[in-house]
Amino acid sequence: GAVVSQHPSWVICKSGTSVKIECRSLDFQATTMFWYRQFPKQSLMLMATSNEGSKATYEQGVEKDKFLINHASLTLSTLTVTSAHPEDSSFYICSARDGGTGGKNQPQHFGDGTRLSIL
Amino acid sequence: AQSVAQPEDQVNVAEGNPLTVKCTYSVSGNPYLFWYVQYPNRGLQFLLKYITGDNLVKGSYGFEAEFNKSQTSFHLKKPSALVSDSALYFCAVRDKSNSGNTPLVFGKGTRLSVIA
């Protein structure tokens, strides 16, 4: 089945550091990937939709200069948290849908998430 | 606009008993419906989906869900719960008329605790 790989799983770094998170579709091509943020014991918050070869679409209230998204190929999207601060600490999850088999009724597949802790 | 409601934050059930996790949805057209499970510090894992056809769909790990159009519901069920089923469960919907690039809309999640 479709697999989404997310790396790294855990990041602990100092305030002011920029952190890059990678999301790869391993056995399918994903023209669109989604980035979510999840706070403890809460639901997923969609941050942005990443489109291959074009600019990402950010949800209202998400700072595009803070959360840089690059979707340079059909199998890779990256999220960079720039100049991270403690309030950026969270669980970030990427997701992609294999649109090549069956179209829009296919489920989204999720990476295992990245736990980001900013000290 | 699309929305999903999971009315219960927490469901507790004894091991071996049947379990139900409730979900209702709202879409302007016809829905694609999904259930996912999340274990601690992991991403979401797909369980099952309703696209069309039989209202009762079967998925992974013995889970099933019943689509009820009149009640706009898609409750998740399992005949006999296991302790290992304890996790966070999310219901999600996409309107069939939306493009494939639109993300799923998720409910807020229901935490299932199965007690031995």
3-state secondary structure B41-96: CCCEEEEEEECCCCCEEECHHHCEEEEECCCCEEEEEECCCCHHHCEEEEEEEEEC
A33 touches chain B (CB under 8 A): no
A70 touches chain B (CB under 8 A): no
Of B90, B10, B75, the residue nearest B44 (C-alpha): B90
Residue A103, min C-alpha distance to chain B (Å): 7
What are the tens digits of pLDDT across the range A36-55?
999 887 788 999 999 888 88
CA dist., res. B33 & res. B48, Å (int):
8
CA dist., res. B94 & res. B25, Å (int):
10
What is the band of B95 on the pLDDT scale with cuts at 50, 70, 90? confident
CB contact under 8 A, B45 and A99: no
Looking at residues B9-33, what average pLDDT do you find?
96
Q: Per-residue pLDDT for A81 more than 60?
A: yes
How does strand A57-58 pair with strand A32-38? unpaired
Provide CB contacts within 8 A for B68, sequence distance 6+.
Answer: B55, B74, B75
Set of chain A residues whose Cβ sits within 8 Å of the Cβ of B45: 110
Q: How far is CA B13 from CA B17, B76, B112, in A?
A: 7, 14, 8
Q: Is A105 helix (H, G, I), strand (E, B) or coil?
A: helix
**Lowest mean pLDDT, pick from A90-94, B100-104, B108-112:** B100-104
CB contact under 8 A, B101 and A32: yes
What is the band of A103 on the pLDDT scale with cuts at 50, 70, 90? low
Q: Is A104 helix (H, G, I), strand (E, B) or coil?
A: helix
Q: How many residues does chain A have?
A: 119
Backbone angles phi, psi at B55, to 5 degrees: -70, -25
pLDDT of residue A77: 94
Higher-confidence position of B102 and B6: B6
List the single best residue of A9, A54, A104, A116 to mutate versus B (max B Cβ within 10 A): A104
Q: Per-residue pLDDT for A102 more than 60?
A: no
> Chain A residue with minimal CA distance to B10?
A41
pLDDT of residue B2: 87
What is the band of B80 on the pLDDT scale with cuts at 50, 70, 90? very high
Set of chain A residues whose Cβ sits within 8 Å of the Cβ of B109: 42-43
Residue A52, min C-alpha distance to chain B (Å): 11
